[in-house]
């Protein structure tokens, strides 16, 4: 587990005084294809100094909403993008505010949806279809891309001022003082949530402390569950035929009898383990024991295993049932802990140092529990 230690090869210490990379003059001069007028959510165009600029509305259509739902369930999510470039929301003029966002369509839609009745310029950076916060973490929503996009989009000829409003969660990738030095534009970090932007604009670009705090409330966690569930069920589907084979073969009865008796138990246990790690752990997060996500998942998985064993009515005097129950008493917490640990990536408050610390013990425990449980399950077939 040496790789899990904070060895120097993985260090990404930020030197804020160093000039941001990827900012060669040649990069900035690269021409940019204007955002397409033929995208389904574009409802017109405004005349810009260098040609037509696509116009969008703050009203979302049912296609926009259906697209969001599909993305939440992982359908076409990695290709849910809009063209990067400059857009007009309503009828902006030279004095209208410029709002910057990512080219993940859900980010773009949340932004325009929050601004009914307002006129603004929307500058969409090319984040390869990733949301603002994750893209800022990777650096694609970054100083270099912003400076390049300002120059390439002709923004300077559209507005008389030199001010940009960025989402606060774009700050991990953007260095405001470097943007100013390199483009002449002043970066204002707006609120975290798009829906707070009208209040922020009306207050003269002032965010309240509440607007600057990232929460992780029950609804915010719940909306992330479908994608976690889909991601967990895909590899689990590969396990199903293996479990069916293991259950059917060996044992005392015929294939079908074994399947009904032991196979059904195994499949129920697998499903419960996934529900524990990918659904219950995120939902119950603040109330579960421990700070490490793996601990929380382990606790839910163990509770689910004990509940299943109590209610299923295995014959614990028979060696085979005892081993079958024991196998899942090991595997269920292991699977649940692994899935809960993976939820760190979706959470809003885990640090890389913390995740590494947690994984140093959790990954061996999860793999150990899974493999030893599988071994016990195989042994149970010979009783």
Q: For residues 79-118, which are near other proteins according to CB under 8 A?
A: 79, 81
Q: How far apart are the first and last CA of the chain?
A: 36
Which member of 101, 131, 247, 336 binds other proteins (CB under 8 A)? 131
Q: Closest separation between CB of residue 136 and other proteins, Å?
A: 8
Q: Closest separation between CB of residue 377 and other proteins, Å?
A: 24
Q: Which of residues 8-27 bind other proteins (CB under 8 A)?
A: 9-17
Which range touches other proteins (CB under 8 A), out of 21-29, 56-64, 78-86, 155-163?
Answer: 78-86
Q: Closest separation between CB of residue 122 and other proteins, Å?
A: 19
d(CA 159, CA 110): 24
Q: Closest separation between CB of residue 308 and other proteins, Å?
A: 26
Q: Are 103 and 126 in contact (CB under 8 A)?
A: yes
Report in angstroms the alpha-carbon separations of 6 from 15, 61, 265, 296, 360. Answer: 18, 47, 42, 24, 11
33 contributes a contact to other proteins by CB under 8 A: no
Q: Are 101 and 124 in contact (CB under 8 A)?
A: yes
286 contributes a contact to other proteins by CB under 8 A: yes
List the structure tokens of 288.
Answer: 């579960």
List the structure tokens of 62.
Answer: 């049912």
Q: Give start and end residues of each alpha helix (H) in 73-171.
A: 105-113, 132-138, 143-153, 155-158
The CA radius of gyration of the chain, in Å to the nearest whole number, is 26
d(CA 146, CA 125): 7
d(CA 207, CA 48): 31
Q: Which of residues 348-377 bind other proteins (CB under 8 A)?
A: 348-359, 363
Which member of 292, 305, 314, 331 binds other proteins (CB under 8 A)? 292
| Residue 84, phi then psi, degrees to nearest 5 | -70, 160
d(CA 147, CA 143): 6
d(CA 290, CA 294): 9
Give whichever of 159 and 274 is closer to other proteins, judged by the CB atom. 274
Q: Closest separation between CB of residue 226 and other proteins, Å?
A: 12
d(CA 167, CA 102): 10
Q: Closest separation between CB of residue 18 and other proteins, Å?
A: 9
Q: Which of residues 314-343 bind other proteins (CB under 8 A)?
A: 341-343
| Contact characters 147-176, other proteins, x per CB under 8 A | ---------------------xx-xxxxxx
Q: Which of residues 199-238 bind other proteins (CB under 8 A)?
A: 207, 209, 212-214, 216, 224, 227-228, 231
Give whichever of 135 and 329 is closer to other proteins, judged by the CB atom. 135
Which member of 27, 64, 113, 128 binds other proteins (CB under 8 A)? 128
Q: Which of residues 171-200 bind other proteins (CB under 8 A)?
A: 171-177, 189, 192
Q: Closest separation between CB of residue 174 and other proteins, Å?
A: 7
d(CA 45, CA 67): 23
d(CA 323, CA 266): 12
Give whichever of 134 and 158 is closer to other proteins, judged by the CB atom. 134
User: How many residues touch other proteins (CB under 8 A)?
Assistant: 71
d(CA 144, CA 215): 29
Give whichever of 115 and 174 is closer to other proteins, judged by the CB atom. 174
304 contributes a contact to other proteins by CB under 8 A: no
Cα dihedral across residues 378, 379, 382, 383: positive or negative: negative
Give whichever of 5 and 257 is closer to other proteins, judged by the CB atom. 5
């Amino acid at each position: 587990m040496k790789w899990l230690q904070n060895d120097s090869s993985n260090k990404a210490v930020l030197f804020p005084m160093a000039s941001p990379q990827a900012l060669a003059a040649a990069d900035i001069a690269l021409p940019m294809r204007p955002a397409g007028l033929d995208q389904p959510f574009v409802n017109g165009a405004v005349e810009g100094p260098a040609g037509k600029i696509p116009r969008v509305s703050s009203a979302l259509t049912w296609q926009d909403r259906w697209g969001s739902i599909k993305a939440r369930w992982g359908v076409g999510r990695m290709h849910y993008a809009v063209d990067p470039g400059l857009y007009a929301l309503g009828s902006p003029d030279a004095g209208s505010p410029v709002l910057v966002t990512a080219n993940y369509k859900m980010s773009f839609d949340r932004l325009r949806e929050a601004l009914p009745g307002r006129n603004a310029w929307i500058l969409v950076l090319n984040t390869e279809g990733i949301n603002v916060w994750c893209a800022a973490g990777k650096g694609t929503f970054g100083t270099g891309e912003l400076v390049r996009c300002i120059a390439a989009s002709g923004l300077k000829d559209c507005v008389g001022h030199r001010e940009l409003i960025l989402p606060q969660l774009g700050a991990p990738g953007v260095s405001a003082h470097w943007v100013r030095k390199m483009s002449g534009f002043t970066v204002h970090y707006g609120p975290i949530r798009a829906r707070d932007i009208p209040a922020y604009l009306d207050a003269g670009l002032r965010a309240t402390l509440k607007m600057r705090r990232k929460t992780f409330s029950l609804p915010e966690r719940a909306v992330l569950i479908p994608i976690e569930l889909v991601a967990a069920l895909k590899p689990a589907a590969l396990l199903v035929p293996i479990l069916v084979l293991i259950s059917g073969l060996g044992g005392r009865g015929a294939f079908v009898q074994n399947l009904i008796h032991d196979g059904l138990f195994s499949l129920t246990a697998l499903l419960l383990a996934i529900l524990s790690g990918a659904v219950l752990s995120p939902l119950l997060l603040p109330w579960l024991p421990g700070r490490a996500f793996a601990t929380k998942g382990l606790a839910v998985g163990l509770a689910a295993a004990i509940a299943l064993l109590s209610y299923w009515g295995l014959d614990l005097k028979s060696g085979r049932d005892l081993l079958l129950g024991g196998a899942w008493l090991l595997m269920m917490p292991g699977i649940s802990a692994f899935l809960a640990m993976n939820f760190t990536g979706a959470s809003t408050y885990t640090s890389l140092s913390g995740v590494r610390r947690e994984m140093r013990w959790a990954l061996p425990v999860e793999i150990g529990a899974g493999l030893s449980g599988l071994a016990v399950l195989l042994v149970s077939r010979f009783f």
